[in-house]
Amino acid sequence: MPARSLADSTLDIAGVDFADLVRRYQSMVFSIAQHFLTETAAAEELAQDVFLQLHATLPTLKSEEHVKFWLRKVTAHRCIDFQRRRKLPQVSLDEAPEPMTPAQSSDPLVARRLQQFVASLPEKPRLIVILRYQEDMLPEDIAAVLAMPVATVKSHLQRSLALLRDKVTRTMGQVTI
């Protein structure tokens, strides 16, 4: 989210209960980590760490919009750090694990395969796809969270979509969504 929007927000964070913030944003933070790492235990640990960091940083945050922006940003950076620290290999499509949570789509197979395809994307494009389609964020907002130019975000999105479309065609050519 651009800095201007954060400053404009009138919500006062001083009276907000930390437990309430955890309840409200647990799904968001956990899901970003889960879709990025595709490992429930690691995703839970990372999400807990993010909220602990929020607990320490909360007095410096000015509004609830600021908290949301901060949570997305810290989660995204922690996901990348976590993967690099663990030296997790880049998952190839064939090696991508089955998603832990079964997709609840009209066609669970397609959703599950798409989760695998997303997990096989490189770090930054994967995060961009997750933020775009899980959080429904605009490229401008994703650019602010990941501290990168908007054009780069758009380019990653286009290439990722082309890649995913290609994978869908190659592996599920006979399946109709």
Partner 1 sequence: MTETNKNPNLLEDALRNAVRREDAPEGFVLKVLARAEQQNSAANDAQRTSWLSLFSQPALRWSAVAAVTIAMAIGTIYYRNLQRQRAEGEAAKQQLMLALRIAGSKLQLAKEKVNEINTSRPEPQPQNSSPRSRS
Residues that bind partner 1 (CB under 8 A): 18-19, 22-23, 26-31, 34-35, 40, 44, 47-48, 51-52, 55-56, 101, 103, 105, 110-112, 114-115, 118, 129-130, 133-134, 136, 161, 164-165, 168-169, 172-173, 175-177
In the complex, minimum distance from the CB of residue 163 to partner 1, in angstroms, rounded to a whole number = 11
Buried b (16+ CB within 10 A) or exposed e, 132-165: beebebebebbbbbbeeeeeebeebbeebeebbe
In the complex, minimum distance from the CB of residue 7 to partner 1, in angstroms, rounded to a whole number = 27
User: Do the beta carbons of residue 61 and residue 13 sit within 8 Å?
Assistant: yes
Measured from the CB atom, the residue of 7 and 177 that comes closer to partner 1 is 177
**C-alpha atoms less than 13 angstroms from C-alpha of 5 in its C-beta half-sphere:** 11
Question: How many angstroms separate the CA atoms of 154 and 161, rounded?
Answer: 10
Q: How many CB atoms neighbour CB 112 within 10 A? A: 16
Buried b (16+ CB within 10 A) or exposed e, 36-58: bbbbeebbeebbebbbeebeeee
Measured from the CB atom, the residue of 54 and 143 that comes closer to partner 1 is 54
The token duo for 106 is: 């009209």
Measured from the CB atom, the residue of 6 and 50 that comes closer to partner 1 is 50
In the complex, minimum distance from the CB of residue 79 to partner 1, in angstroms, rounded to a whole number = 13
In the complex, minimum distance from the CB of residue 3 to partner 1, in angstroms, rounded to a whole number = 26
Measured from the CB atom, the residue of 28 and 150 that comes closer to partner 1 is 28
In the complex, minimum distance from the CB of residue 56 to partner 1, in angstroms, rounded to a whole number = 8
User: Do the beta carbons of residue 139 and residue 157 sit within 8 Å?
Assistant: yes
Measured from the CB atom, the residue of 111 and 150 that comes closer to partner 1 is 111
